[in-house]
Amino acid sequence: MLVAVLGIVSVTIGAAFIGLAVQKNTYVTNELRQQNVTVGLTKEQISDGQIVDNIQKAQIAAETIAKHLQNIAPTYNDLMALNPSGKYDPANPNDLKYTQGLNMENSFNIAVLSFGVIQETMATGIALIVIGIAVGTTGFMLFSLSKKEA
């Protein structure tokens, strides 16, 4: 009977994983939608009312911003080399533009990472449910067989 209980526990934990994944997916999607960002989208997507709100669009947005940053400086170190002091200067408009863009790029990269973790959590939940069903079914079958033999 213990095997059957372990199967039930596995299914329960799997369902919790899926529930958490759905909850976090909704949260990340809603947070992106509140920003109403269209960077990286085509004119057709924008005219259709689309915004950055999923893993693919967030990755495109991050890559687009990274390309825009290349117009200021190829890398952060190159940006610092352009400054007379060799250090970040918040009074320098190029430094501000670069770091604000870098902040946006990082935010979209974190969204991409978040969606990836959400997908992994969902897959883990599904795997736990499948394993739980297999283990639980085996446990119930063994329990039934042991009752017949007793």
Low-confidence ranges of the chain (pLDDT < 50): none
**So what's the pLDDT on residue 48?**
96
Looking at the structure of the chain, the number of domains it has is 1
Share of the chain above pLDDT 90, in %: 87
Q: What sign for the dihedral angle of Cα 93, 95, 99, 105? A: positive
**So what's the pLDDT on residue 150?**
64
* Domain boundaries, position 8: 2-149
**So what's the pLDDT on residue 147?**
82
Structure tokens at 39: 């960077």
Rounded to the nearest 10°, the torsion over CA 16, 20, 26, 32 is -160
List, for residues 77-119, the tens digit of each pLDDT value.
999 998 888 999 999 999 999 999 999 999 999 999 999 999 9
